[in-house]
Amino acid sequence: MKTLKKPYPPGDFGIWIIIYIELVTFGAFFLGYAYSRRLDVVLFNESQLLLDQRAGFINTLLLITSSWLVVRAVQTIKRMKEKEAIKEASFYLLGAMSLGSVFLVIKMVEFSGKYAQGLNLSTNTFFMFYFVLTIFHFLHVLLGVIILYNLYEKTKQGGYTQQEHTGLESGASYWHMVDLLWIVLFVLIYIIR
Amino acid sequence: MRTITSIWMVLVLLSMFAFLVGWFKITSSFFIALLLLTTFIKGQLVIDYFMDLREVSLKYRLIPTLWLMIVLSLIGVAYYFPLHP
């Protein structure tokens, strides 16, 4: 049986406008990086060796898992009876927020390590892109963690129900966008050479 | 919930593959193509199952899908045709 498609994406439509704009903005940065690399492949490959791939990989796992927990929170609110749902969804959101926070801590350790090595925005073109892209993404994760905290608080207070959970879906969509951007960023900056 | 957990596991496995390619510093054209393909798959899974766009009107799903396809294809072009190798 063919299922009927929903007319609009989950959450508030405004958040999707923001998501589409963010994707285009990051896309331009990604292509800027890839096409600048064409001009000096050796410099980019040598500079890339100074990055900590393990930290990038752990951060990938953290964001993927955090996104998964957020999906579980939304599904729980949509499917379960209120009292059980509040407890379970809050737990998932707290987990997602904690993993997002660990991502931020790992990134800060990485940034401070780079500065200690004397690497910064003006070191070369690779590091200019590395710092601009990862700091820009870091700020999005920071905002995402703040959003998750608010979702957690409202869920705990019973603010979302099976019938009304638009705010939860909006915040979740934003968080998944942060995850999607990191999936491309990780491969582009840390891995591909 | 089982589907979402399976998707999460696929994402973890594909990320491990990407990490191992980077860790062993594999630079062949084949692996670049494979990395870009697996990144597309990961992104599409996030779009379809995490963002939950698979059950939404096609135009809203196509925007991030096309974005992902175009960005990764152009990255591929930049990596396959360097100006100064």
Least Cα separation, residue A89 to chain B (angstroms): 13
- Both tokens of B53, joined, read 């766009």
Which residues of chain B neighbour A51 with C-beta distances below 8 Å? none
The predicted structure's pLDDT at residue A82:
75
What residue of A is the nearest CA neighbor of B36?
A187
pTM of the complete model: 0.95
Q: Is B51 on the interface with A (CB under 8 A)?
A: yes
Query: How far does CA A191 lie from the centroid of its chain?
Result: 18
Q: Are the Cβ atoms of A71 and B70 closer than 8 angstroms?
A: no
The answer on pLDDT for B1 being more than 80 is: no
Q: Are the Cβ atoms of A27 and B39 closer than 8 angstroms?
A: no
Q: Is B84 on the interface with A (CB under 8 A)?
A: yes
Per-residue pLDDT band at A3 (split at 50, 70, 90): low
Q: Is A44 on the interface with B (CB under 8 A)?
A: no
Packing angle of the helix pair B2-23, A53-79 (nearest 10 deg): 170
A118: left (phi over 0), alpha (psi -120 to 50) or beta: left
Tell me: ipTM over 0.90.
yes
3-state secondary structure of A6: strand
A2 or B16, greater pLDDT: B16
Q: Is A6 on the interface with B (CB under 8 A)?
A: yes
Mean pLDDT of A61-87: 92
CA distances from A162 to A68, A81, A83, A102, A165 (A): 19, 8, 11, 30, 7
The answer on pLDDT for A4 being more than 60 is: yes
Q: Is A27 on the interface with B (CB under 8 A)?
A: yes
The answer on pLDDT for A158 being more than 60 is: yes
Query: Rounded to an integer, what distance in angstroms lies between the CA atom of residue A139 and that of residue A142?
Result: 5
* Per-residue pLDDT reduced to its tens digit, A103-118: 999 999 999 999 999 9
The predicted structure's pLDDT at residue A141:
98
Query: Rounded to an integer, what distance in angstroms lies between the CA atom of residue A15 and that of residue A173?
Result: 8
What residue of A is the nearest CA neighbor of B83?
A38
Q: Are the Cβ atoms of A191 and B35 closer than 8 angstroms?
A: yes
Q: Domains of chain A, with CATH numbers?
A: 53-191 (1.20.120.80)
What residue of B is the nearest CA neighbor of A67?
B50
